[in-house]
Chain A
Amino acid sequence: MAKSKSRIAAACVAGAAMSALAAGSAGAATAPAVLKIGTLYASSGSFAVASEGQYQGLQFWAAGVNKAGGVFVKAFDKKIPVKIIAYDDQSSTATATTLYNQLITQDKVNLLVADFGSVLTSVAVPLAAEHHMLLIDPTGSGANFFTKKTHYLADVSIPASTVWPIPLGDYLLKQKIKRVAVLYGSNDFDASQANTLKAVLAKGGVKPVYFHGVPTSESNYTVLLHTIAARRPDVVIELGYPPNDIAFLRALSGSGLHFNMTFTIFPGQLLALLTKNVGAKTLAYTYTYPTPPLVKFSHVTSGLNTDDFVKTYTAAKHEAPNFLNAAGYNTGVIMQDMLKTAPQFTQISFDRALLGMSGKTKTLLGAFKMTDHGAQLGELLPVAQLVPQGKGNKIVVVYPKAKATGKAVYPAPKT
């Protein structure tokens, strides 16, 4: 054991020395002709929809900066065009592992951007640290990632899922809604939210009347809904991925059951997809966490503000952007600011630049706040209700008060 330990230590030292050398030479050497940004996306499998959205947002950003002659890199005091090198991991973590390594060791990218979500980001976390690369993590918010100080991880576009339901829980307590049913998917993203919500409610003395995890692959909610209804809840909160939310809402509308308040996650991120699948009528008067572009941030320090982003993106891609497009774009904007402020062209300098930006930078997703563990604490997601308007629904933020744009219709009328 002592032997293997010393061998590992030797390998680490060698690795560190090599990368320090590489970093040093990069810092001192002449500027690269193009800035290589490596990333992965999934064209198929369970993360395809979200992953492609994020990737398109990043591409949109890159096209924009290249049109303007590239991004300004302070370390070289000049603008350098960017090139995205992207591979398809097909939603498989095994494939993603080799492809991340391909980006690092073969393509020798300057910046490494993770694929969408915690699952496909997870395998890059130790790999990036090993190679002393800063992993720019747009949407991987697994609670497991941010347990210690690191220079090699930066969650830039989404707060950790554990903090998402805090305003929702506060809202339920404030409205004195006591009978709460929570149904969640057994995965990191949903289960961590369910547990936070339970803890927030417990502080106000509320214990859910129904609190169960279901398999992530769950697609049949008819009998579950009936079981939930038997507990006579006022509010039913379903925490899932888009296929779960769709199946849940469709089962709800088909079942003839009605609750005073219904909450799901993804209408707030993928409103067009949800509306197409379950219909505007089913979504009417339900609640969600609204995300940009459904909520707007008009005062920004970097990049386009939310409205301008929607306009430019729609003009360029001929379809309105969703949250994941915005998250991908935001990742680019944050990197752009980072390069503008980092005095040296090294990964550690990049990380310090991000920490320096924390609390001062505002983008189309709101405030950028990062801890030295790499976790994002930016904007807490408010609570909103979908209120019928024309053929669709509009978002009315109901909590917290500072962001509210209207009052909730409670109990939800039958539509």
Chain B
Amino acid sequence: MRDRGAWPGIVVVVLLAVVFLILPHVYGNQSLLFQMMTFVVLTQGLNLLYGFTGYLPFGYVGFFGAGAYATSLLVLHTDLPVIACVIGGGIGSIVIAIILGPLLRLSGAYFSIANLAASQIMFFVVSNGNLSKITGGPYGLKIDRVYAPEASYLTMLAILLLATGLAAYFRASRFGLGLRAMTQDPVSAAMAGIDVVRQRVLVWLASAGIAGLAGGTYAWNLSVFYPDAVFTLQISVFAIVFALFGGVGTVIGPIIGAASLYLLYNGIGISFPQGFELLYGALIVLLVLFLPNGVSSLLTRRGVRVF
């Protein structure tokens, strides 16, 4: 395999930055752009774990929600600048990921669903009425004092670049090579001197941290929200569907997958609100049947090595 170093990663990161800095000047619905970035980040974060270790976190939204709550509670109870609170959200998610570390002992569907259960547990605990004094419980949280769509947009962009940079690093570095060897054959990878467990845990924490940062920024952008807005399973399902659609284990696959399916989702929602769910469902079925390895496979089939 030819090593092209860091260049492809830098190109993708710069391109993303340019596109998302220009778009708001061309297209006025900044919420849509913001949410699109959010889903690209989540899809990329999920890809870090699934694409490079084979662990599919069905409950990925749990880290997103944890970040949203950690950030909001920091905003409410400290005088820290919002950016610091968002970073706190990322750290909060990493802490949760450490607690959930033992789940990595599970394999395949068991891991996926145990992770889903963990995210449901977080949701139910946060929204429980007995904890209203701490988490706002069913009443949700309100941080509109710091509401700033522009600043939160730029923060989400920064997180997008970070997530993409990480994916590019995984894709191009020895670390990533080890990861892929591990996914394909953990036993020989271990024999080749790769510390399987340590690497896997590092990826797990990075993936959780990305979701936490995204959740914190998302909460900042919403600024008034109920628990289900940041814990709804729909977020996990979207991230998974987008990632698989784009093609996992690559850098640009998840970006293309999330951006195109999310735009499609909104395009249908705005132009044909009546048949929205039906059309979206039918499209997904058709895509899986006729494009089962994601859109990036269109390129791979033609002999292009997708970054």
Taking beta carbons and an 8 Å cutoff, which residues of A are in contact with B? 1, 4, 7-8, 11, 43-44, 86-90, 92-95, 97-102, 105-106, 118-119, 122-123, 125-127, 129-130, 142-145, 147, 186-188, 191-192, 213, 215-216
Contacts of A123 in B (CB 8 A): 222, 224-225, 229
Would you call B277 an interface residue if the criterion is a C-beta within 8 Å of the partner chain's C-beta atoms? yes
- Interface size on B (CB < 8 Å)? 43
| Contact (Cβ within 8 A) B228 A119 | yes
Q: List 8 A-B contacts (CB under 8 A).
A: A11-B150, A88-B273, A94-B229, A102-B32, A102-B270, A119-B228, A127-B31, A216-B138
Q: In whole angstroms, how far apart are the Cα atoms of A86 and B137 in the complex?
A: 31
Q: Is B35 an interface residue (CB 8 A)?
A: yes
Verify B139–A99 contact, CB threshold 8 A: no
Residues of chain A with a CB closer than 8 A to B130's CB:
213
* In the complex, chain A residues whose CB is within 8 Å of the CB of B147: 126, 129-130
**Contacts beyond the supplied A122-B225, A125-B144: 6 A-B pairs with Cβ under 8 Å:** A11-B150, A94-B232, A102-B31, A105-B28, A191-B132, A215-B124
Q: Are A44 and B277 in contact (CB under 8 A)?
A: yes
Q: Are B269 and A95 in contact, with the CB atoms below 8 A? A: yes
B208 at the interface (CB under 8 A from A): no
Given A105-B30, A119-B226, A123-B225: A188 and B270 interface contact (C-beta under 8 Å): no
B5–chain A nearest beta-carbon distance, Å: 34
Question: Does B78 count as interface, using CB distance less than 8 angstroms?
Answer: no
Are B144 and A126 interface neighbours, CB within 8 A? yes
* Across-interface contacts of A93 in B (CB, < 8 A): 222, 225-226, 228-229, 232
Do A7 and B150 touch across chains, with their CB atoms under 8 A apart?
A: yes
- Tell me whether B251 is interfacial, beta carbon within 8 Å: no
Is B234's CB within 8 Å of the partner chain A?
Answer: yes
At the interface, yes or no: B183 with Cβ under 8 Å from chain A? no
A99 in complex: contacting residue of B127, B150, B234, B270, CB < 8 Å: B270
Contact A97 B35 (CB under 8 A): yes
Contact B277 A90 (CB under 8 A): yes
- Give residues of chain B (134-151) contacting chain A, Cβ–Cβ below 8 Å: 137-140, 142, 144, 147-151
- Are A98 and B139 touching (Cβ within 8 A)? no
- What are the residues of chain A within 8 A of B270 when measuring CB–CB? 87, 99, 102
Residue of A nearest to B218 (CB): A94
Contacting pair B222 A87 (CB below 8 A): no
- The answer, yes or no, to whether B223 is at the interface (CB within 8 Å) is yes
Nearest chain B CB to A336 CB, angstrom units = 25
Q: Which chain B residues (260-288) contact chain A, with CB distance < 8 Å?
A: 266, 269-270, 273-274, 276-277
Q: B30: which A residues are within 8 A, CB to CB?
A: 101, 105
Given contacts A7-B151, A122-B229, contact A186 B127 (CB under 8 A): yes
Q: Is the CB of B277 within 8 A of A87?
A: no
Q: Is the CB of A213 within 8 A of B129?
A: yes
CA distance A93 to B221 in the complex (A): 13
Q: Contact check: which of A87, A101, A186 meets B31 at CB < 8 Å?
A: A101
Measured in the bound complex, the distance between the Cα atoms of B266 and A88 in whole Å is 10
Top 4 nearest A-B pairs (CB, nearest first) are A101-B31, A88-B273, A105-B28, A1-B81
Given contacts A88-B273, A101-B29, A125-B224, contact A94 B150 (CB under 8 A): no
Contacts of A92 in B (CB 8 A): 232, 234
B151-A8 in contact (CB<8A): yes
Contact A144:B224 (CB < 8 A) given known A90-B276, A191-B139: yes
Closest to B223 in A: A126
Kindly state whether residue B116 has any CB partner on chain A within 8 Å.
Answer: no
Q: Which of B31, B127, B234, B273 contacts A98 (CB 8 A)?
A: B31
> CA A126 – CA B144 in complex, angstroms?
7
Say yes or no for B83: interface residue by CB 8 A criterion.
yes
Are A142 and B229 also in contact (CB < 8 A) when A98-B35, A102-B29, A123-B222 are?
no
Of chain B, the residue at the smallest CB distance from A194 is B129
| Known contacts A7-B150, A99-B269; is-contact A144 B277 (Cβ 8 Å) | no
- Quick check: is B56 within 8 A (CB to CB) of the other chain? no
Of A89, A97, A144, the residue contacting B140 (CB under 8 A) is A144
B86 to chain A, nearest CB (A): 11
Closest to A215 in B: B124
Give A225 to B222 CA distance when docked, in angstroms. 39
Give CA–CA (A118, B138) in the complex, Å. Answer: 12
A358 CB to nearest B CB, Å = 24
Which residues does chain B contribute within 8 Å of A101, judged by CB atoms? Answer: 29-32
Beta-carbon contacts of B144-176 to A below 8 Å, as 1s and 0s?
Answer: 100111110000000000000000000000000
Q: How far is the CB of A238 from chain B (nearest CB, A)?
A: 15
Cα distance A44–B281 when bound, in Å? 14
| Chain A neighbourhood of B293, CB < 8 A | none
Q: Is B273 a contact partner of A43 (Cβ separation < 8 A)?
A: yes
| Contact present for B31 and A147 (CB under 8 Å) | no
CB <8 Å contact, A100 and B31: yes
A122 touches B140 (CB 8 A): yes
Q: List residues of chain A with CB within 8 A of the CB of B235.
A: 94
Given A97-B222, A126-B222, A126-B224, A106-B29 contact (CB < 8 Å): yes
Within 8 A of A (CB), among B95-150: 124, 127-130, 132, 137-140, 142, 144, 147-150
B269 surroundings in chain A (CB, below 8 A): 87-90, 95, 99
Give chain A residues whose Cβ lies under 8 Å from the Cβ of B32.
98, 101-102
CB-CB under 8 A from A89, the residues of chain B are: 269
Nearest chain B CB to A22 CB, angstrom units: 12
Choose from B151, B226, B276 the contact partner of A4 (Cβ within 8 Å): B151
Closest to B142 in A: A144
Q: Which of B29, B81, B226, B277 contacts A105 (CB 8 A)?
A: B29
Assess A11 versus B148: contact at CB under 8 Å? Given A43-B276, A98-B29, A106-B28: yes
Query: Beta-carbon contacts of B31-73 to A below 8 Å, as 1s and 0s?
Result: 1100100000000000000000000000000000000000000
- Taking CB atoms, residues of chain B closer than 8 Å to A100 are 31
Min CB gap B195→A, angstroms:
38
- Most interface-central of A94, A100, A119, A213 (chain B CB within 10 A): A94
The answer for the CA separation of A100 and B151 in the assembled complex, in Å, is 20
Asked if residues A142 and B139 are in contact (CB atoms below 8 Å), the reply is yes
Q: What's the minimum C-beta distance from B88 to chain A, rounded to whole angstroms? A: 14
Report how far A123 CA is from B82 CA in the complex, Å. 19
Known: A4-B151, A7-B150, A123-B222. A94 touches B35 (CB 8 A): yes
Q: In the complex, A191→B131 CA distance in Å?
A: 12
Question: B220-242 vs A: 1/0 string, CB under 8 Å?
Answer: 00111110110010110000000
Partner of A191, one of B81, B137, B224, B234: B137
- Within 8 Å CB of A144, what residues of B? 139-140, 142, 224
